[in-house]
Structure 1
Amino acid sequence: MINIIKNYKSVRNHTEYLCSFLELEDFTPQSAAFASPPKWHIAHTTWFFEQMILLKYDKNYTVYNKEFSYLFNSYYNTIGKRIARHERGLLTRPSVKEVLDYRKYVDEKMLSLLSKEIKEVNTLTILGLNHEQQHQELLLTDLKYTFSKNPLYPVYKNENYVNDTNSHEGWLEIKEGIYEIGHNSDTFCFDNELGKHRVFLEPFKISKSLVTNKEYLEFVKDNGYKNSKYWLDDGWHWLQENKISKPLYWEHINDVWYQYTLSGLIKLDDNAIACHLSFYEASAFAFWKGMRLPTEFEWETAANNLNWGQRWEWTNSAYLPYPNFKISDGAVGEYNGKFMINTMVLRGASSATSKNHSRTTYRNFFAPNTQWQFTGIRLAK
């Protein structure tokens, strides 16, 4: 009981710590449908505990505000209707103060409930805390995208999250064989990691380092964004339709390359690991290099012998269920399974990922055109 209460307080406090660097005006704007405002994140993660736990397990619980479920539900169809995703930034009310009061109210009720040591409550709370840690990273990525639209290049804080460099070089060789994939222990994992199974892998090599800004800039300078032969057809159409000619947040000013970061606009660091690249860009770069992206099974097999955690790493694997994958009953069953279409798997973690929220079996997933996450490239051959 003590550990889960301590963990609950720690995770919830970290969200508010991330918000402590914001001005009041920063909490509400939304620059794209995918980039939710900080105020919505801190309310939604609170709503998760209220909706998934308190309403079911605390018979005396009184909903803080009945309208909040419509405002702060994300995608749970079984729970009810919700505001359109692209309209979250229109919510000037409730105020930031009221949302923080809502968090305090729910926290008090949750801590009281956790003290009763109900197994099902503890299990759902751990899920809720991992859910909140996902939103902590989303809060940063969404905020960065919104800040990037401001010509003043706002500074969030001194840490820029993109100055990581490689500590290893060369290639790791993996022999052909049958390898076990998936989560199989008593520690927490998401349902999409379950279904431990075996896969056969041909021999392969995987890079010990991630692609750097210098390496990716060579691709840009070699007209990589202008030559269709490097690109998947879908990716090429994405380039043309969106007039993309460089990575997200890169700026070419007076023949000098810059990069917008959460600590403002800085000169592009050649040695830093490239960031904010889509699957399409990762795939094109790999083709240009005469290599490829690893599959998620290759990545997991090699992971214990790699230095990972600086960038979410694109794999060449579609997001699909493992053998014997089962969708849970109720709203929590909507967490992962229904998104197993039109997305690609990323492995690892990033410099923006919350502490204690990474493992070698973690399966992140995003659409192939996603750029605003802290994503990078590890090559294979």
Structure 2
Amino acid sequence: MNVPTFTVSTEDVLARFTHIRKQTLALCAGLSGEDLQVQSMPDASPGKWHLAHTTWFFEQFVLGHDPAYRSPNPEWHYLFNSYYESVGPMHARPQRGLLSRPTLDDIRNYRTRVDEMVSERLVRGVDATLAARIELGLHHEQQHQELLLTDIKHALWCNPLRPAYRQAPVKSESRSVSMRFLPGRQGPLDIGHDGDGFAYDNETPRHTTWLPAHALANRLVTNAEYLAFVRDGGYQEAGLWLSDGWATVQRDGWQHPLYWQEDLSSEFTLAGVRALDPHAPVCHISYFEADAFARWAGARLPTEAEWEDAAARLPINGNFQDNMRFHPNAVPPGEGLLQMYGDVWEWTASPYVSYPGFKPLPGALGEYNGKFMNGQWVLRGGSCATPRDHIRASYRNFFPPHARWQFAGIRLGQDR
């Protein structure tokens, strides 16, 4: 986390805090208490837990930073701590759905009470340290906004009725755009956060790396292209898959992306079951699937350095959570690299490891990213569930290679 270098404005910090906290509640509008209680798999969390945990984060790391602060519900620290071992013990993640108490009303009141206390603290004045902690908490909240959407999608998909989260806006025009490979820069180039504004610690330090001759596809892989892989027996050809990936396909019976229906012509979306748009990006696939498709296509996945160097020269425009579509759009017409931001997170060929000279944040906040640098792979660019002002070229998302409930897709790369 970088301390802002600009003059801290109490009004700006308070306005941003209020807006993002309200946006989380807005994403829950229309969901029932039962919707927000259910936990459909161990990797997901109930919506109610997300509401509580993001509040716990501000209580623990902002209000709790004052030695005089006393929590009105200290026993809740055990319930809503996620993985901060240095803070104390925590309730088992796979059992979060069993927490019928405190109730949803209790959690909403908890949010209101903590928001009032944080706002009162901000009104008394904001220095750079407090502003940095608030900003970290808000980016943390935006991560959980995305998780709210991905987790409720999985929960609703598990319901045989396949209910919709919300009705979709009018569908965007779908058209075919030919895939072309555009050469990237070659040589020693700098990647990592440049120090301007907020960044997570795992985006630092900025450092020099070597980029070989390479090219990136001008657009994302589409549903039609991935369907060709499925129909060509891609899920039956062991030679296309990494060993652990093939074992996962065999064990879990994968035959197509998560949320595709068995007819291979429709998919479950947050607006219910909809026809599969052949020109929209394929999504909800794992790293294993992305890597297998790339092999089948005679290509590879880009490295995160290749992706970042290209994306850093582009404006951050795209289909984000702010659009309220909650589903990838078909590729728009245009020249150059398209859909680098938004629509789907893009799997890279890079394992999630530290940059040279990486130093985690001091104290409990050092557990935020660093301890997960093991057995996971980097994704870049954000998705249709990501808030636009949460993303940047240096942002490093990470998931284990079997994960596919996130809005994750594929951009191909090539050696040159």
| Class of the TM-score when normalised by the shorter of the 2 chains | over 0.9
Code of the residue aligned with 1:352 in structure 2: it is A
- Matched residues in 2 for 1:294 and 1:337: separation? 23
In structure 2, the residue matched to 1:277 is 285
Code of the residue aligned with 1:70 in structure 2: it is Y
In structure 2, the residue matched to 1:142 is 151
- Matched residues in 2 for 1:78 and 1:102: separation? 23
- Matched residues in 2 for 1:47 and 1:251: separation? 38
Q: Please list every run of 5 or more consecutive structure 1 residues that lacks an aligned counterpart in the other structure.
A: none
**What CA RMSD, in Å, does the superposition of the two structures yield over aligned residues?**
1.7
- Matched residues in 2 for 1:249 and 1:147: separation? 11
Q: Report how far residue 164 of structure 1 moved.
A: 9.3
SS of 1:252's equivalent in the other structure is coil
- 8 Å CA contact 1:160, 1:263 repeated in 2: no
- 8 Å CA contact 1:345, 1:366 repeated in 2: yes
Q: Report how far residue 167 of structure 1 moved.
A: 7.0
- Matched residues in 1 for 2:13 and 2:118: separation? 11
TM-score w.r.t. length of structure 2: 0.88
- 8 Å CA contact 1:280, 1:369 repeated in 2: yes
Output aligned runs, 1:144-293, within 5 Å. Answer: 144-159=153-168, 169-253=179-263, 257-293=265-301
Pick the aligned partner of 1:46 from 36, 55, 66.
55
Output aligned runs, 1:1-381, within 5 Å. Answer: 1-57=10-66, 59=68, 61-115=69-123, 116-159=125-168, 169-253=179-263, 257-303=265-311, 304-305=313-314, 306-307=337-338, 308=340, 309-381=342-414
Return structure 1 stretches of 4+ with deviation > 4 angstroms.
160-169
Q: Report how far residue 323 of structure 1 moved.
A: 1.1
Q: Report how far residue 58 of structure 1 moved.
A: 6.7
- Matched residues in 1 for 2:173 and 2:140: separation? 25
- Matched residues in 2 for 1:143 and 1:161: separation? 22
Query: Structure 1 stretch 298-307 or stretch 120-129: which is displaced more?
Result: 298-307
| Percentage of identical aligned residues | 46
- 8 Å CA contact 2:266, 2:273 repeated in 1: yes
Q: Deviations over 1:176-204 (max 9, x none)?
A: 21111000123000000011111111111
Code of the residue aligned with 1:201 in structure 2: it is L
- 8 Å CA contact 1:210, 1:379 repeated in 2: yes
- Matched residues in 2 for 1:320 and 1:175: separation? 23
Q: 1:162 to 1:178 in 2, by over 3 A?
A: farther
Q: Report how far residue 163 of structure 1 moved.
A: 7.3
Q: Report how far residue 122 of structure 1 moved.
A: 1.2
Q: Deviations over 1:317-340 (max 9, x none)?
A: 000101110022211000000000
- Matched residues in 2 for 1:342 and 1:161: separation? 40
Q: Report how far residue 118 of structure 1 moved.
A: 3.1
- 8 Å CA contact 1:278, 1:370 repeated in 2: yes
SS of 1:26's equivalent in the other structure is helix
- Matched residues in 2 for 1:45 and 1:347: separation? 23
Query: Structure 1 stretch 348-357 or stretch 117-126: which is displaced more?
Result: 117-126
Q: Count how many residue pairs are aligned between Structure 1 and Structure 2.
A: 378
- Matched residues in 2 for 1:63 and 1:95: separation? 18
- 8 Å CA contact 1:164, 1:272 repeated in 2: no
Q: Report how far residue 246 of structure 1 moved.
A: 1.0
SS of 1:51's equivalent in the other structure is helix
Q: Deviations over 1:266-303 (max 9, x none)?
A: 11111111010100000000000010000000101111
Q: 1:161 to 1:201 in 2, by over 3 A?
A: farther
- 8 Å CA contact 1:64, 1:102 repeated in 2: no
- 8 Å CA contact 1:251, 1:257 repeated in 2: yes
Q: 1:160 to 1:252 in 2, by over 3 A?
A: farther
- 8 Å CA contact 1:36, 1:89 repeated in 2: yes
SS of 1:299's equivalent in the other structure is helix
- 8 Å CA contact 1:162, 1:261 repeated in 2: no
- 8 Å CA contact 2:202, 2:360 repeated in 1: no
- 8 Å CA contact 2:56, 2:77 repeated in 1: yes
- Matched residues in 2 for 1:174 and 1:106: separation? 48
